[in-house]
Structure 1
Amino acid sequence: MKSENTSKGLVACEEALQRLLDGVPIVSQHVKLDISKLTASIVSFEAGFDRGYLKKNRKQHLPILAKINASRSAANKSPSSSNSKLIDSLEDKLAHAEKDLAIVRVQLDQVLTQNLQLWERVRELELAERQNKDLRGRLKK
């Protein structure tokens, strides 16, 4: 019975590892996970177990632990992989910055328009005040 549970657990962990490597995890925390950060606890958690499920002292866990370490090592050694992730990250930041810039430009245009309207209204009020002063001055004479 225990060997069946263990093998089911290992199968679940193998499937979880594959999902993580394919970039389609079930656990939301693992979305866009950098494979160079992959650990046994992440695979265990993705498989639906607690983070300490996979252990080095269990012989049946050694093959999957080796796959996890190999995947992490390959990701760390692959400069193109990390460069492409860096490029993707920078492109996301650039797109976000461009959206922010567009919003700020719209806000700037609105503020400038309001300032021009206020300036025009102040000019009108100053002109009206001058005309009132002139009229009052004429009436006193």
Structure 2
Amino acid sequence: MKSGDGTSKGVGACEEALQRLLVGKPVVPEHVALDLSKLTASIVSLEAGFDRGYLKKSRKAHLPLLAQIEAVRAEASKGAGSSSGKKIRQMESQLAALEKTLSIAQMQRDNVLAQNMMLWQRVRELEHSMAYSRSGHSAKVESLLHSDKGMTFTSA
């Protein structure tokens, strides 16, 4: 774009793109949740709809915008040290909570498996007694049906 009007339209588009990136509302999907410490002129150019090399230091009209991009990146990098420590602590806390949830789920699973095994065993005993009762021994079936064999079940 050789005309001054065209250049200012391009810079304006890049300025709008930079603002979208700063407020976290980019139009390019790859720029969603962009870490501002990684902001570059090529990212702003792409967000504005141009190729990666649109913004250049050799173009005087681009210098203020390039300086602004650099300032944003430097500020974000400076604050990244304290925020990364905070992120690590937050992630460690989330990990501890997930480990606790996993442990509870494993205990519940083990309890349910034990109950299922006891139920399976009881069904096998009843099946055997039913087969035995068909041969004329109904008293044995009655006693098995009414006994609980000391089993208690709890909900998981």
Superposed, which structure 2 residues align to 1:40-119 within 5 Å?
Answer: 40-78=41-79, 79-80=81-82, 86=87, 90=91, 94=94, 98=98, 101=101, 105=105, 109=108, 112-113=111-112, 116-119=115-118
Q: How many matched pairs?
A: 130
TM-score by length of 1: 0.68
TM-score normalised according to structure 2 size: 0.63
CA deviation profile, 1:105-140 (whole Å, cap 9, x unmatched): 3x975775365234313233135436857997x9xx
Greater radius of gyration (CA): 2
Indicate the SS of the match to 2:62.
Answer: helix
The answer (yes or no) to whether the contact 1:36–1:75 under 8 Å persists in 2 is: yes
Give SS of 1:50's match. coil
CA RMSD of aligned residues (A): 3.6
The Cα shift of 1:53 comes to 1.0
1:125 correspondence with 2:124: yes
Measure how far apart 1:82 and its partner are.
5.0
Kindly tell me: are residues 81 and 20 of structure 1, through their superposed partners in 2, closer, same or farther at Cα, counting changes over 3 Å?
farther
Give the whole-Å Cα distance in 2 for the aligned partners of 1:89 and 1:17: 29
Aligned to 2:10: 9
Between the aligned partners of 1:10 and 1:82, the Cα distance in structure 2 is 33
Name 1:37's counterpart in structure 2. 38
Higher helix proportion: 1
Deviations 1:46-75 (A, max 9, x none): 111111111122222111111111110111
Q: Deviations over 1:20-43 (max 9, x none)?
A: 112221222111111100000110
Identity over aligned pairs, percent:
48
